A and B are shown apart, each in its own frame.
Chain A
């Protein structure tokens, strides 16, 4: 059994190590590229959302490398993500690929089914082993998220921000050749040290932007055209409202209560959206308020074209912008998104935030009190 799974930002690093700890053979898909998107767009239904298309591209690329089993999570919420597995399976069947799908549905869909799937996919010999590997995987997720976070922060402060890019690039290349959890952890520690050694300019006062919106577009750098990198080079600190760490904290380690931060976001969003709207629509509104309270300069909402929950959130964000006085920009992503236009909008937004900050500083001076 050669396992593969779709990409979601840096999760593949932890996922690969976790499965290898359990003694499975893993073939992670090649990093998302134009080719992935092209394959995906060709075989997917036209009006499907972007993550689906990338998933299909990922599968086909890793099947060509030899994978025969696909692991994905499922859901039964109002978002169409819940039906991904069925459509993907029939598309791959039509193309003549003989692969097995293992879908982890939420626990209320049947405990037995979930348990069976876990046993099948993870080759569990004993539960102690599973818990040990699980804990180890969790550590890796936290670590790889921390590295991304650290690199984002360093990029904004660094004297030469391209140095950070170099380190991260060689880290990603190294990951592909690393086998086993221990080696992965060693690699990460090395990267952390070299990141910390990057020279920084402490006098800089970078703009702070929160990235909110749909989880896939926030986390996967290829889909959002590496927004963190682009903003980082402009001297902006970027914080993402959703990361794999936050997701696991909310849905797994604090099950069934949810993490403190996410619950706070629900509370903040309550006057605007009292109930769930599927996906992360409610969190998007909550995060926008959360970031404005934390003193961020602005927020950027990312969504794949025709994402249903985010459209609901988008129609509420202008009100948040007015009520909390925080600039919000929405970027819609799909396979047609051009880089130049995207860049222009980001630059304009950062300019606006800088000017706004300046105005605030000189406010008293200008108005004479």
Chain B
């Protein structure tokens, strides 16, 4: 039985349930690289070009980790997942970057997913992937149907307010609302950023669990449903042509306008091209609506103590605001 390696990075946090179920239904063993750790980070930094952003470097590390353990590595070339929209340029070229920066690789399965012009190509990409592994049409069709169902369950969980890190663990078990005790929470904070930086616990130094342990309800862009994202991102003066950019801006705008949050933490990685645009858009909106906003920029040299201090200060600031806002003396 052949083994497929799935690196735990980039779009892993968006589509892993789909990929996992699909390959397992086809009777293929999948190996996921271990959670990001120091060793993987160092491997990534040494093999990747210096200019790339941290998530891409970490992805290189995951591939390095997997390359001796598997027969194939699955790195889909996700070009576009919506009409007339694109993904980040580094994602478009990710299989090429990997192929020419890391030596002695097993074959890469780089199925091209390009739905920019029409959705019809999607089915073909699925069959191409299955065919590469020597499966027949009906097997692939059946496997995909099952995978889709479990993916829907995953999306359902997210919309219910389960943080994706948790959802990946439990999507096929019992439905359980992690933010269940939300009524007791004093604050609601939106953690916004790309899925691969928000949910990689090593990269962002456990930001989400730190917030949760402080009795804070956390909302991430993936928890907002698609209709809302579309509605609010249409308020931009120009059509947003990055699917993930649209998700970030749309979800942040919707929460700001509906006044559901007390503050926003934008988690960005140094050198992220999309974020240089998106941060500006979200920050402007937040300032206009008078919602506290802070930007954490991460790179491989970020120290945990400094990040902790900033998070604590931010939380304190919001708590004091909620307590004292109406008690400010008229003498100023």
Interface residue A172 (Cβ < 8 Å from any Cβ of B): no
Is A80 within 8 A of B273, CB to CB? yes
Is A311 within 8 A of B52, CB to CB? yes
Interface residue A28 (Cβ < 8 Å from any Cβ of B): no
Binary A-proximity of B33-52 (CB < 8 A = 1, otherwise 0): 00000000000000011011
Q: Choose from B51, B96, B277 the contact partner of A87 (Cβ within 8 Å).
A: B277
Q: Decide yes or no: A76 and B239 within 8 Å by CB, A279-B89, A312-B97 being known contacts.
A: yes
Binary B-proximity of A84-128 (CB < 8 A = 1, otherwise 0): 011101100000000000000000110000000000000000000
- Bound complex: CA A83 to CA B274 (Å): 10
Interface residue B20 (Cβ < 8 Å from any Cβ of A): no
Residues of chain A within 8 A of B52, CB atoms compared: 311, 315
Interface residue B90 (Cβ < 8 Å from any Cβ of A): yes
- Bound complex: CA A152 to CA B97 (Å): 34
Q: Choose from A45, A312, A318 the contact partner of B90 (Cβ within 8 Å).
A: A312
Interface residue A319 (Cβ < 8 Å from any Cβ of B): yes
Interface residue A27 (Cβ < 8 Å from any Cβ of B): no
Interface residue B112 (Cβ < 8 Å from any Cβ of A): yes
Q: Decide yes or no: A275 and B92 within 8 Å by CB, A45-B276, A47-B270, A78-B87 being known contacts.
A: yes
Task: Please provide the chain B residues from 190 to 241 with a CB less than 8 Å away from any CB of chain A in the complex.
Answer: 236-241
Residues of chain B within 8 A of A279, CB atoms compared: 89
Interface residue B84 (Cβ < 8 Å from any Cβ of A): yes
How many residues on B have C-beta within 8 angstroms of the other chain's C-beta atoms?
A: 42
Interface residue A277 (Cβ < 8 Å from any Cβ of B): yes
Q: Which one of A79, A85, A277 has the highest number of Cβ atoms from chain B below 10 Å of its Cβ?
A: A277
Is B88 within 8 A of A308, CB to CB? yes
- Bound complex: CA A80 to CA B108 (Å): 28
- Bound complex: CA A59 to CA B297 (Å): 29
Is B49 within 8 A of A314, CB to CB? yes
Residues of chain A within 8 A of B96, CB atoms compared: 272-274, 277, 312, 315-316
Interface residue A194 (Cβ < 8 Å from any Cβ of B): no
Interface residue A66 (Cβ < 8 Å from any Cβ of B): no
Interface residue A23 (Cβ < 8 Å from any Cβ of B): no
Binary A-proximity of B98-124 (CB < 8 A = 1, otherwise 0): 001100000000001010000000000
Is B97 within 8 A of A316, CB to CB? yes
- When C-beta atoms are compared, the residue in chain A nearest to B53 turns out to be A306
Interface residue A276 (Cβ < 8 Å from any Cβ of B): yes
Residues of chain A within 8 A of B252, CB atoms compared: none
Interface residue A181 (Cβ < 8 Å from any Cβ of B): no
Residues of chain A within 8 A of B275, CB atoms compared: 47
Residues of chain B within 8 A of A82, CB atoms compared: 238, 241
Is B100 within 8 A of A315, CB to CB? yes
Q: Choose from B101, B270, B273 the contact partner of A308 (Cβ within 8 Å).
A: B273
Is A47 within 8 A of B271, CB to CB? yes
Q: Which one of A279, A303, A308 has the highest number of Cβ atoms from chain B below 10 Å of its Cβ?
A: A308
- Bound complex: CA A76 to CA B246 (Å): 13
Binary A-proximity of B57-92 (CB < 8 A = 1, otherwise 0): 000000000000000000001010000101111101
Task: Please provide the chain B residues from 139 to 165 with a CB less than 8 Å away from any CB of chain A in the complex.
Answer: none
- When C-beta atoms are compared, the residue in chain A nearest to B92 turns out to be A277
Residues of chain A within 8 A of B284, CB atoms compared: 90
Residues of chain A within 8 A of B133, CB atoms compared: none
- Say how far A31's CB is from chain B's closest CB, in angstroms: 26
Q: Choose from A80, A319, A332 the contact partner of B100 (Cβ within 8 Å).
A: A319
- When C-beta atoms are compared, the residue in chain B nearest to A109 turns out to be B239
Interface residue B242 (Cβ < 8 Å from any Cβ of A): yes
Residues of chain A within 8 A of B53, CB atoms compared: 306
Is A307 within 8 A of B101, CB to CB? no
- Say how far A109's CB is from chain B's closest CB, in angstroms: 8
Residues of chain B within 8 A of A308, CB atoms compared: 88-90, 273-274
- Say how far B122's CB is from chain A's closest CB, in angstroms: 16
Is B241 within 8 A of A77, CB to CB? yes
- Say how far B289's CB is from chain A's closest CB, in angstroms: 15
Residues of chain B within 8 A of A281, CB atoms compared: 89, 93
Is A311 within 8 A of B90, CB to CB? yes
| Beyond A76-B241, A86-B236, A311-B49, 13 extra complex contacts between A and B, CB < 8 Å | A47-B268, A49-B273, A80-B274, A83-B240, A276-B79, A307-B273, A311-B52, A313-B93, A314-B51, A315-B49, A315-B52, A315-B101, A316-B100
A-B contact pairs, 15 of them (CB 8 A): A45-B280, A46-B276, A47-B272, A47-B279, A48-B276, A76-B239, A77-B86, A78-B89, A78-B242, A82-B241, A86-B281, A273-B93, A311-B51, A315-B101, A316-B97
